[in-house]
Structure 1
Amino acid sequence: MDDRTRNRILGVLFIGVLMGALDAAIIGPALPALKEEFKVQERTLSWVFSFYILASLLGTPLMAKLADKIGRRSIYILDVGLFALGSLIIALSPNFSILLAGRAIQGIGVGGVFPIASAVIGDTFPPEKRGRALGMISAVFGLAFIIGPILGGLLLRYSWHLLFYINLPIAFLVIMGALREFPMTRAPEPKPFDWTGLGVLTLSLIALTVGFNQFEGTELKLLPFILLTAGIGLLPVFASIERRAIDPIISLKIFNSRQLVVVSGLAFG
């Protein structure tokens, strides 16, 4: 593969990651408009963030594992397609519940975009060029949080719906670029999917997310405490399951990679 092809692949990855990162940064200015549109309280409005974050945290290991089993190109296109579908649902949502469902679909899709982008770089770039390519992808997040609020403010002059409609043509271009430029990868020998690990991780993240969302200032309540305790308590159970799994949903060895931890921290802000 020549450098020109690699650069085109990197361009497709860059735009895909930027699309997801912009959505996380652009939503802030839209909150007052969403509150007015759907007549919800501040605490309820916070679920716009919570659903997205929870779904993306679940989507990251799930989509990364599916990409290993099925192929990077197919799952990357699926991720971008889910993100676009979620954006369309949000833009057309008749009520707040439908909007939250769209945010969850968005989150699942965007959760796989960054790890698969990193994996595609590992597949297509030689070792001496991977650091530069990964650095460019990581720089997307800083760029998004600079231009996201500005772009959001401009679009809000017309309608909050445009913040989500704008994702559709971008997603289309990314999907077309991936179909044209990404190499087909052969799936390895199939191994049993780690459904137990995924289930425990899901329960833990739901408990933690709902628990944090139930806090009201300094007031202590029993339910948030129980949820947070349960969520934290499930983490060592999850780690134990992953150590024994034939093909873990998250390999605990990745936490030994300082570079991956730093890059992942940038991805989740």
Structure 2
Amino acid sequence: MRKHKPTSSFWILGLTSLGFFMSMMDSMIVTTASTAIRHDFGISITSLQWALNAYNVTIAAVLLVGAALGNRFGHRTVYMAGMAVFVLGSLMAALSGSIAVLIAARVVQGVGASVLTPMSMTILASGTPPERRGKALGIYSGIGGLGLIVGPALGGLIVSQLTWQWIFWINIPIGLAGIWLSHKYLPEDTPGNGRINLVDAVLVIIASVALILGLSDKSWSRFSIVLGLAGVALWAVLMLRQRGQSNPMIPLSFFRSPSFDGGNLATFLLYASMYGVVFFLPQQLQVVGGAKALVAGLELLPWTGTLVVVAPLAGKWVDRFGERMVAALGLFLQGLGYFWIGLTTGGEFTYAALVLPLIISGAGLSMAGPALQKAVLGAVPSADSGKASGIYNMSRLLGGAVGVAVSVLVFYARGSASSPAAFTSGFKAAMLTAAVLSLLGLPAAAAIGRSESK
């Protein structure tokens, strides 16, 4: 076996951050290209939602399986394999000639991305000296957050200068370079002997997909209702199977903590609210506001850009005031911002009226996210933080997928894409629904820390 020279912290941080950045950016970059994709393929918004949801649902469904693969076959090996699958999915997406092929490509991308985040974090944490680990993880998280910020603007820039397919072409040379450099510079680790429970792995994937598919049918057909109920039933079966297992994929003991339960439920609702907005807001800016894709991406910066300013402060606020207060305030501010937009949008649409509520809602998201993550991870022993992190990220991504599905249902209940006026009517309803989802997270956030206070 080839032995590697000791790897510098620079290469470890740079290469692990690259994978995290790519996976986070691709969850957002498609948003400002959505109008171009819809027009190019001549599809409905119901079909379009799967260009976003297929990616997030796949990551959520495969995330825990990806973490288990890393423990079994080696983190560096699985990290490079994940990046290769991500590149393959990007190639398929760039060459797609129909929405069905694009959705399939996004599923492949999601499979690759599902291992990039847990593997990159594990490689970074194990390859960085303890005295520099906190700083390295902070930089790593910041780079991932940057992917969320620049994704819409970069997508808009690419669509305005080239075609929407180029949002996927750019992943290919970067991903291939990342694979080669990872093989050369990332530390090699010894594969473990952990057993992967294939039945549980398949159940996670099928249950997640069935639930989201069932929610995504605006006609509420008998088939969609049965499919959604089947998803719920399969999740119940999965939970029952975790009992008595020596190494469960989802340890049920975690759910005895109100902080863990409340933190995950609040996370689900926080991102259900946010992803519903990120799906429709760029389309509103383009369809009704008349903005080009690049301008629409830049117009999102008052919302996404708050992450740079607020997220670092949120960590200090959590240490001072506690996770419960910061998370609750964040959920409230996000809901307030979306209510503001929903109530004031109508008649003559102007971007200027959106700026302040976008800043308020973005600040709320940037506060609640770190607070809820700390609450969830702090509710379990440090040795179990990997599994807890996986469950947290599943809650975040499944919440996002459900949020998009619900917002599409509400949009079509009150509006349509047939005209700017009809689009605005549906958009208002979707924004108010997003606000309600965020505020529904307040009781869950109130449970954080309850067990510790007893």
Q: Is the TM value for this pair above 0.5? A: yes
CA distance in 2, matches of 1:175, 1:251: 33
SS for the counterpart of 1:60 is helix
Is the contact between residue 125 and residue 137 of structure 2 (CA under 8 Å) also seen in structure 1? no
Give the structure 2 partner of residue 184 of structure 1. Answer: 188
CA distance in 1, matches of 2:134, 2:185: 21
Per-residue deviation, 1:267: 7.1
Which of 153, 161, 164 matches 2:165? 161
Aligned to 2:244: 244
Written as runs of structure 1 = structure 2, the 5 A alignment for 1:48-197 is: 48-157=51-160, 158-188=162-192, 190-197=193-200
- Give secondary structure in 2 for the equivalent of 1:159: coil
Aligned partners of 2:12, 2:253: CA distance in 1, in Å?
Answer: 28
CA RMSD in angstroms comes to 2.7
Return closer, same or farther for 1:129/1:3 CA change in 2, 3 Å cut-off.
Answer: farther
How far apart in 1 are the matches of 2:209 and 2:396?
20
Displacement of 1:247? 4.1
User: Is the contact between residue 194 and residue 247 of structure 1 (CA under 8 Å) also seen in structure 2?
Assistant: no
Shift of 1:206: 1.3
The alpha-carbon deviation at position 4 of structure 1 amounts to 7.3
Q: Give the deviation of 1:40 after TM superposition.
A: 1.3
Contact 2:211 2:231 in 1 (8 A): yes
Shift of 1:21: 1.0
Change (3 A) 1:15 1:192: closer
Q: Is contact 2:75–2:119 with CA below 8 Å preserved after alignment?
A: yes
Does the alignment pair 1:23 with 2:26? yes
CA distance in 2 between counterparts of 1:39 and 1:69 reads 44
Residue identity (%):
28
Which amino acid in the other structure matches residue 177 of structure 2? L
CA distance in 1, matches of 2:147, 2:59: 17
Alignment TM-score, normalising by the size of structure 1? 0.87
The C-alpha deviation readout for 1:103-132, integer Å capped at 9, x for no partner, is: 000000001111111111232123343332
Cα deviation code 1:36-88 (max 9, x no counterpart):
22221111111112211121112211221111100011100010111110000
Following the alignment from structure 1 to structure 2, what is the Cα–Cα distance between the partners of residues 141 and 8?
16
Give the match for residue 217 of structure 2: 214
Asked if the contact 2:61–2:205 (Cα under 8 Å) also holds between the matched residues in 1, the reply is: yes
AA matched with 2:244: R
Structure scoring higher RCO (CA < 8 A, sep ≥ 6) equals 1
Q: Distance in 2 between matches of 1:229 and 1:139?
A: 38
What 5-or-longer segments of structure 1 have no aligned partner? Answer: none
Do 2:51 and 2:106's aligned partners in 1 also have CA atoms closer than 8 Å? Answer: yes
Cα deviation for residue 30 of structure 1 reads 1.0
